Amino acid sequence: MNSRLYDAAFAIILLLVVWSFYRAQRDPANNFNLFDLIMENGRVSRIGFAYLVGLLVTSWVLVSSVQSESREIDVIFSAYLAAWVAPIVAKLFSPPPPAGTVTTQTSATVTQTVDRDKT
């Protein structure tokens, strides 16, 4: 198949996904909020937005590499997994924070941990 036909099919699928998100967002009976994907404490999260854009771009590179039958697809796929799956697995197996601690983040991106039992 022609590469442009693949690109058109991918664009149509992406538009259908975006359209379904939009419909879910507009339905008053649905609690789904699309902005929750990139929001943190009522504001747009730079890291969340960067992750979302990075995920879309790297997914596009992976799909394009598969379409072009690139020889380096195993390296590209390994890098894709390392970038997106490894952090999720690491978070799943990381120990929870100790009970009674609250982590706050200030606008200067300094993280402070306060133990409620000692204050």
Q: Which amino acid is at 59?
A: S
Q: Who contacts 12 (Cβ-Cβ below 8 Å, separation ≥6)?
A: none
Q: Are 116 and 105 in contact (CB under 8 A)?
A: no
- 101-105 and 111-115 as β-strands: parallel, antiparallel, unpaired? antiparallel
Nearest to 25 by CA among 41, 10, 43, 37: 37
Summarised one tens digit per residue, pLDDT across range 55-78 is: 888 888 888 888 788 788 888 888
Q: What is the pTM of this model?
A: 0.49
118 or 40, higher pLDDT: 40
Model confidence at 118: pLDDT above 60: no
Nearest to 100 by CA among 119, 117, 81, 77: 117
